[in-house]
Chains A and B, each alone.
Chain A
Amino acid sequence: MPVNFENNQIVSPGELLAEGDYLSGEGSFKEGNKVYSSILGLAVLKGKVVSVIPLQGPYYPKVGDIVIGKVLNSSPAGMRIDINSLYSAAIFPSTANETGRRGREKFIQFDVGENIIAKIISFDRTHDPILTVDEEGLGKLVGGRIIKIHPTRVPRVIGKKGSMIKLLKEELTDRIKIGQNGLIWFSTSNDVIEDILVAVLRKIEREAHTSGLTDRVKETIKKLKEEKLNVIRGKNT
């Protein structure tokens, strides 16, 4: 039997997706030989695997992900980090430097309230995620601004082969870092660019489930830039 949906069709929980010789992937489950959707999202068939791409939902930690978080608690024994997820993460002196290159005594302790970018090195159902900052580009985030978007829509901010993030870097600022947990840090040279970037990120978030997004974002940036320039010109004359 063929599948019960077109690719990218919006499906809701409990909807029958396929019957027969199919496997259930992310966002779907099997009952007998029938595959049902378990979440609200976009249904996709890849080979024999039926899955549903979520549109909303929590960030579920994954080993290897780069995340942005805020220090909740700090002591020489370790730090607790809020990573905008269902579990809070921890950094321990023993794992802060994954490679052991710098040794335990060089453990860098961040202050409470500081924002950091880190990598998840360990996580499963039974314990909270453990982070490390021992890698190029990881560590404390100084200055700039952080905004929060739906974690499920982060892939669209990155875009196909990084096309969207490349566009943002070229057009707006190259100081932008994306956490897989939905937090985006950026620092811009002036307020005008910052306003445009925030507006663009909100647009990407809102229209994450539509096609042709990169082209539309390109146009939006152009339009917003002109608008802002006109305002500035108007003020000067």
Chain B
Amino acid sequence: MLFEEKIPEKLIGSDGLRLDGRKLDELRPIKFEVGVLSQADGSAYVEHGKNKIIAAVYGPRELHPKHLALQDRALLRCLYRMATFSVSERKSPAPSRREAELSMIITQALQPAIFLEYYPRTSIDVYIEIIEADGGTRCASINAASLALADAGIPLRDLVAACAVGKADGQIILDLNDLEDKYGEADMPMAMLYRRGDVTLLQMDGQFTIEEFNKALELGKTGISKIYQLQRDALRNKYLSIRDEVADESEVKVEITKEVEENE
């Protein structure tokens, strides 16, 4: 190993703060950016603490090979991949068992949100590339993929927001980083269609009592609600920034909708 990772004695200090100075129910700083790739139909870049992730969506497009096509709906395919330099010790570029699993659970987390039945016989392809990883990449990947889908203009029932909760030093904490994930007592990533309250991903490592589990679920929901709001803002900002820029240039107002109606 290039540098030794120091195993922390305590994950939560005597002042009640975590190793990176966060409170127990505090998220890491999150940055969402939409439309970062010019050649993809939709794309998003996410910085979640030290995680850096790019998601790209292609489609709906014609599906090849054709025999995979579903006659009544589109096929959703996700590929989660970690760059070789994304972790401290070089990751082999070959697809690992872990990557295959995450690709599958991300597909399952996104699928209920999409109106797949609108586009029969096609495929929607989501590619997720982890540039830098620091715990909780599956949640950040779901957030990124959901933004990229919306950016591609694919009809969604709701945005999918995801966040992890866990337990460290006997306390329930929100949004675990790498160290808390490794040396904590439990880790529970969850994804939700927040408006509908549907949980589309719920995994758990470690142990919770039933009371702790219920408490963690509630804490996860509050974290997800914050992320959900950030996602909305990111989507809107892509177009609002152009609109503001133009509004500065001229004050003339024309009804856009009328134009569209008359063209139809």
Which residues of A are interface residues toward B (Cβ below 8 A)?
A: 7-8, 10, 12-16, 27, 29, 36, 38-42, 44, 46, 53-58, 86-88, 125-126, 152, 155-156, 158-161, 206-207, 209-216
Contacts and interface: CB of A to CB of B under 8 A. Distances in A.
B196 to A, nearest CB: 8
Contacts of A27: 155
Interface in B35-60: 41-42, 59-60
A211 B122 contact: no
Given A7-B255, A38-B157, A206-B242, 13 more contacts: A8-B256, A8-B257, A10-B239, A14-B158, A14-B159, A16-B195, A39-B155, A42-B256, A42-B257, A56-B153, A58-B60, A88-B62, A160-B259
Contacts of A210: 242-243, 246-247, 256
B87 to A, nearest CB: 33
Nearest to B237: A10
Contacts of B253: 211-212
A41 B115 CA distance: 16
Contacts of A212: 246, 250-254
A58 B257 contact: no
B174 to A, nearest CB: 23
Given A14-B159, A86-B60, A207 B246 contact: yes
Interface in B139-161: 150-159
A118 B154 CA distance: 26
Contacts of B158: 13-14, 36
A215 B250 contact: yes
Contacts of A152: 153
Interface of B: 41-42, 59-62, 71, 115, 119-122, 150-159, 193, 195, 231-232, 235-236, 239-240, 242-243, 246-247, 249-264
B254 A39 contact: no
**Most chain B Cβ neighbours within 10 Å, of A58, A88, A155:** A58
Contacts of A206: 242
Given A39-B156, A209-B243, A210-B243, A13 B255 contact: no
A212 to B, nearest CB: 3
Specify the main secondary structure of chain B where it touches its partner. Answer: mixed
Given A86-B62, A156-B259, A58 B254 contact: no
Given A39-B155, A53-B257, A87 B122 contact: yes
A53 B260 contact: yes
A213 B246 CA distance: 9
Nearest to A208: B256
B121 A57 contact: no
6 contacts: A29-B115, A29-B155, A39-B155, A40-B239, A53-B256, A212-B246
Contacts of A29: 115, 155, 157
Contacts of B243: 10, 209-210
B152 A57 contact: yes
A152 B153 CA distance: 10
Nearest to A125: B120
B263 A57 contact: no
A161 B262 contact: yes
B262 A14 contact: no
A211 B260 contact: no
B173 to A, nearest CB: 28
B42 A38 contact: no
Across the A-B interface, give the 9 residue pairs with the lowest CB-CB distance, nearest first.
A57-B153, A14-B158, A212-B252, A56-B153, A13-B156, A38-B155, A160-B259, A155-B263, A210-B246
A212 B242 CA distance: 13
B110 to A, nearest CB: 12
A156 B235 CA distance: 21
**Most chain B Cβ neighbours within 10 Å, of A8, A27, A159, A210:** A210
Nearest to B115: A38
A211 B235 contact: no
Nearest to B122: A86
A15 B233 CA distance: 12
Contacts of A44: 257
A86 B59 contact: yes
B152 A86 contact: no
Contact of B119 (A14, A36, A86): A86
B239 A155 contact: no
